[in-house]
Amino acid sequence: MTSPRPSPFLVVVIFVATLAGHFTLSRAGFAIPVLDDVRVLLFPAVLAVFVLEANHAGVRPLHSAPARRSLQPILLLFGYQMLSAAWVPHNAVVGDVIGDLLSMVVLVFVYATLAEWDRDRVVRLTMGCLYVAGWLYFLYAASGRGRVQGFRWTAFGGGPNVFVRVEALALFATAYFYFGSARPVWLIGAPAFLIGAVASGSRGGLIALGLTTALAFPSLVRFGRRHGALKPLAVVPLTGALVWLLLGDAIMSLINNRFLAATVQQGYTSDRDVLYTKGFWLFLERPIVGVGVHGFYAVTNLGPGEKYVHNLPLAVAVEGGAVGLLLLLLAFWGPRHEYAAIPRARRPLEARVSAYSAIFILGASFFSGDYYDARLLWIFLLLAAVPASPPLPLHAPAVRVTHGRPRPPP
């Protein structure tokens, strides 16, 4: 009897908890003060299901060296960031940031354990969840609900920068299922997800998607030629033309307003230039240990809409100093080292799609988001780096000796 695999229910629960982000029940019209943050409900459910299944399967968390070497530097970074609350300015409010960091500790720990338990199954189920989420977000936004600034697409109370990440990751899920099965039916979603990404109006997200696609393209071509998966790609323009007939006018209006008029002609940067400049000079003022978590907002006081730098490395530099930057590099190096240790020819599709998903989130994190918005970066890094352990026997059958020869029990 071998160790049972993690159930779809467990993977779906932790995926929903991860995707929910900062979603609150008040967005859905419910006023429940203690339970307003859905993490209060979801995270105990994640931990309960995880403990029950791991105990039933006899799984010992982090028993493999690759899992420990990949996870430890990430936890060290989070620990240092929480410690930096000790030297923040007196007017800093660190409770929410500490809560975010503790939530990420739970997520990366569970995902690291799931990866060494059965990484391929977890990636497959996660990609399936992303594919479904991509359709739900696209259909919600295409119906006309949840848009901001009159034309940018959003869904379920999240912003456009969240929307583009879901749609882009759904594109990666499409590629994963298509190249893993060579079934053209998976390609139906590709045009919708791409249009959804463009309709978000997120310039940083689209830049990250373009760079990741450029990095992945040679590998996809080689894989497609080897498995005869290139010819069916002709279905993509056909389905894309159908989607364009339905939504083309709205997309062109967004491109003209957001990308051409605002960005090219008016030089609109969403105040990123102000944030980056403030962050750079603040880093120079406290270059060793920084100003502590939430210190950027406490010092600059740029308004409620500018609570963070919208650039992950710069945010770590500002609030953690050179020490934080060093730990950030170590957090990247640990999983990267384990991933590189796997020979290129032996890297499974699950490891590759996780690595490219992490690269995309990293690229997007240079333009938008706070620490918690980068949670999928650490999760995908772990899924790419931690190889699945072979299944272990739960119970060894008893053996009895008769006339000097071992025999199985009756």
Number of other residues whose CB lies within 10 A of the CB of residue 355: 22
Query: Residues 23, 75, 332, 356: is their CA dihedral positive or negative?
Result: negative
pLDDT reported for residue 270: 73
**Longest CA–CA separation in the chain, Å:** 92
Tokens of 256: 């003209």
The helix (H) or strand (E) run that includes residue 233 is none
> What's the CA gap between 48 and 86, in Å, rounded?
32
Answer whether residue 312 is part of any domain. yes
- What domain count does the chain have? 1
| H-state helical runs in 267-348 | 272-285, 295-300, 312-340
The owner of tokens 């994190």 is 365
How many residues are present in the chain? 410
Tokens of 66: 């690759």
Answer whether residue 2 is part of any domain. no
pLDDT reported for residue 372: 95
CB 179 within 8 A of CB 229: yes
Answer whether residue 406 is part of any domain. no
Strand partners, 401: 406
Answer whether residue 402 is part of any domain. no
> What's the CA gap between 120 and 332, in Å, rounded?
21
Helix/strand/coil for 400: strand
CB 179 within 8 A of CB 220: yes
Q: What is the pLDDT of residues 363-407, one digit of tens each?
A: 999 999 999 999 999 999 999 999 876 655 444 444 444 444 444
CB 39 within 8 A of CB 103: yes
Answer whether residue 379 is part of any domain. yes
Answer whether residue 371 is part of any domain. yes
Strands (E), 81-236: none
Answer whether residue 396 is part of any domain. no
Non-local (6+) Cβ contacts of 328 within 8 A are: 77, 312, 313, 316, 320
173 burial (CB, 10 Å; 0-12 / 13-18 / 19+) is buried
Answer whether residue 393 is part of any domain. no
The owner of tokens 């998607």 is 209
Question: Which domain range does residue 95 map to?
Answer: 8-387
* Tens of pLDDT, residue by residue, the chain (410 residues): 445 889 999 999 999 999 998 888 777 667 777 677 888 889 999 999 999 999 998 888 999 999 999 999 999 999 999 999 999 998 888 999 999 999 999 999 999 999 999 999 999 999 999 999 999 999 999 888 877 766 788 998 888 999 999 999 999 999 999 888 878 888 888 888 988 998 888 889 999 998 999 898 887 777 666 655 555 555 556 666 766 676 666 667 666 666 656 565 565 667 888 899 999 999 999 999 999 999 998 898 876 666 789 999 999 999 999 999 999 999 999 999 999 998 887 889 999 999 999 999 999 999 999 999 999 999 999 999 998 766 554 444 444 444 444 444 44
> What's the CA gap between 210 and 178, in Å, rounded?
20
Q: Which of 112, 190, 200 has the alpha carbon at shortest distance from 151?
A: 200
> What's the CA gap between 263 and 270, in Å, rounded?
9
